[in-house]
Amino acid sequence: MLPVKGMVLFVNVDHAVVVGRPRSLAAIAQAASSEDKSILVLAQRNQEAVDPAPDELYEIGTLARIHRLERHADDLVSLVLHGATRVRIRKIDTSRPWMEAEYDMLPLPDDSSDSIEAMYRDIMDKAHELEGIGAEGWAKGIAARVLQALKDPLEQVYALASLLRLDVPMQQRIHAAPTRAEAVQLVHEAIVHEVKVQVLQLEIAQQAASNVSAEQREYMLRQQMEAIQKQLGEDGGAGDELADLRSEIEAAELPPEPAKVAHKELDRLARMQPASQDYQVALSYLKLIAELPWNRASADNLDLAEARRVLDARHYGLGEVKDRIIEYLAVRKLNPDAASSILCFVGGPGVGKTSLGASIAEALGREFERISLGGLHDEAELRGHRRTYIGAMPGRLIQALRRKGVNNPLIVLDEIDKLGRDYRGDPAAALMEILDPSQNRDFRDNYLDLSFDLSKVFFVLTANTLDSIPGPLLDRMEILRLPGYSEDEKVHIAARHLLPAQLREVRLTADQIQVPEATLRAIVRGYTREAGVRELNRQLARVVRKCAVPFASGQDTAVSVTADQLKTLLGAERFSRASLRENALPGVVTGLAWTEAGGDVLFVEAVKTPGGKGLTLTGQLGDVMKESAQAAFSYLWSQATALNIDPALFQQSGVHIHVPAGAIPKDGPSAGVTMATALVSLFTGRPVRADTAMTGEITLAGLVMPVGGVREKALAAHRAGITRVVLPHANLQDLDKLEPGVRAAIEFIPATNLQQVFAAALAG
């Protein structure tokens, strides 16, 4: 047990104590050697007692933990105690070199009422009022930090009570109060009294200073400040720095509100000591205001032909996206005050979403900045931290504008679908204001705390999928889908962009390492299967590196890579254009699926299970996909006679449907047509054509409903060497934007009902 003078340790409050009495030092040594470092803290009734007796101590104290302990050379120990819980002392033992006590836990009271809530709110208002007055011990922001650190209102009241200059009996009454109502009432009376005293003291000081004119007072203070700085050797540097900063602020041509705040902060900064922490905080804030591009903007390049040339030079294909950029430039040319667009590029990895943003910036003649949102959890990363926090800084948007020096850059917000959300806030909610043209004209960063116009910024967002983006945020964007590249487009991109870039990496020329179009096509077909071109770029890098080895050894003979050499350079082909199921048994059907990485080909397998019953589904299928299988099974059973299937087959054996690969989760309604065809093939004994794939949702009436991602699925079928695709009739319009080469290579068969699907898919 540790008796203390002049203070009461409240629950969940930290308090620094200096100890020098022998009995107290012995108690601290015992507590410090224990595992949990706990010690009982009791306030003395008699503040003059050097070695207090048990009856000179209060019976209600605090069980505390030693957080920090430091020994000094003069037999003193300083420590920081953290109050854990209230206790009531039963018995005190003084027979040892230290004091020990037996105690009972005394939980905090939990009563509540409207009057308690009213007094609690008034206490918080009075605490903020003391901050505004500048009362001793009430630094600006201290009440907010107390509220943030403690969740229980009673513990918050205790913490505020520890900041008031109360005598020990009053502190003990608050600590020992049996009800919340009594504790809150006591603190309320104390803080109301403190506010009255501080207000009166402030009025007296103001009256005393009113006899001196403002000019005289400022002159006297500046003379005193200069004299102090000369004595400290600090004159010269700070004055020059402030003069330069004042000149920068004048040259920045600030709007009225920032100008007013900047000059006010400058005057306050001039009265601070350069060595103080607040000086550096205020200086950094003023530098931010001076460096932000309040009225500086770059001129847009409104030459439509030149913009088209830049886009075509940087990216192959993507006609829809390029047309949209030209439309934007045309509108800007006709109406320079038009609001900036907010484009969202959606597509698989490696299709060029981020690099397309850089190309747009080059075409517009704007500054380019990329901000990655992947894994971002803290809203303050976008809105900034308030200046009351240590190490506060502006949000990423304000920092980007500061770096670029213009208020109309093109900013790519990358991977918006990967945003996180936790106790630190929801960044997606902050983006709703940032991306809304009707709101971002008055965007307020928490650190800057001034309105900044973001409406001139051209925002481009990228995502692999839209599923995880909140609806209200999605509503503020214009969605442009990048479905992926066809084989011809990949060959062109490889020859025009990827291969030259890889040759530059090894500092060789196209004359030294030649990769013909046939070889590029063989790499695309045999070693890649993706919507984008990242894997293609990696394979080209491997080829170039292997061909560069002889040149590093002194060879100067040009190398031409043929398709036959790829097996040596890259190993065996990873993918085959031929169908994987050329000799498929009845019940096996090729389907088309959409994934975040673009379209893909999957197989649905169905077998009879003699002696079994019903439908068994495997392959990590989602609920929607399971329901599609059940709907297909029910439809076939109901239409068995019309399909020349013996209805008894449905009762004699069960059916097992499996969708490889079993380790990958799958879901969605678009496999309904594929599952129905697999079941028909199984029960009729007719195999499905190996060159045919299909997609579509079904109903119990046998109708084929439209699905999404048809363009991506068509590209996947083309990559897999499939030449016939059965799809819903309503999805024919989705083929209008498909590349001519893909449309020519695949026969698209529209279907409105399952009868048409079966007729097109079943052999014979």
Task: Kindly tell me the burial class for residue 694, based on how many C-beta atoms sit within 10 Å of its own C-beta (0-12, 13-18, 19 or more).
Answer: buried
| Residue 310: CB atoms within 10 Å | 21
**Nearest alpha-carbon partner for 697 in 667, 717, 738, 665:** 667
Angstrom distance (rounded) from CA 242 to CA 268: 11
Catalytic positions, please?
A: 670, 713
Q: What is the 3-state secondary structure (H, E, C) of 15-52?
A: EEEEECCHHHHHHHHHHHHCCCCEEEEEEECCCCCCCC
C-alpha 116/C-alpha 66 separation (Å) is: 33
273: which 2 tokens?
Answer: 């000591």
Residue that the structure tokens 């930290």 belong to: 14
Q: What Rg, from alpha-carbon coordinates, does the chain have?
A: 38
Cα of 572 vs its chain's centroid, Å: 41
> Residue 294: left (phi > 0), alpha (psi -120 to 50), or beta?
alpha
Instruction: For residues 248 and 124, give the distance between their C-alpha atoms in angstroms, rounded to a whole number.
Output: 40
Q: Positive or negative, the Cα torsion across 177, 183, 189, 192?
A: positive
Written as one string, the DSSP assignment of 81-92 is EEEEEEEEEEEE
Query: Could you give the CA distance from residue 283 to residue 242 in angstroms, rounded to a whole number?
Result: 9
Q: Residue 369 pairs with which residues in a beta bridge?
A: 411
Question: Which residue type does 50 have?
Answer: V
CB 762 within 8 A of CB 738: no
- Helix H or strand E encompassing 726: strand 724-728
Closest listed residue to residue 154, CA positions, set 209, 102, 110: 110
Whole-number Å distance between alpha carbons of 718 and 487:
8
Cis ω before 661 (30° cut-off from 0): yes
Residue 62 in tokens: 């605090």
Dihedral sign, Cα of residue 35, residue 38, residue 39, residue 40: negative
- For 623-656, letters b (16+ CB in 10 Å) and e give eebeebbbbbbebbeebbeebebeeeebeeebbb
In which residue are the tokens 């439209």 written? 706
**Spatial separation of the C-alpha atoms in residues 744 and 723, rounded to whole Å:** 9
- Residue in 148, 139, 32 with CA at minimum distance from that of residue 80: 32
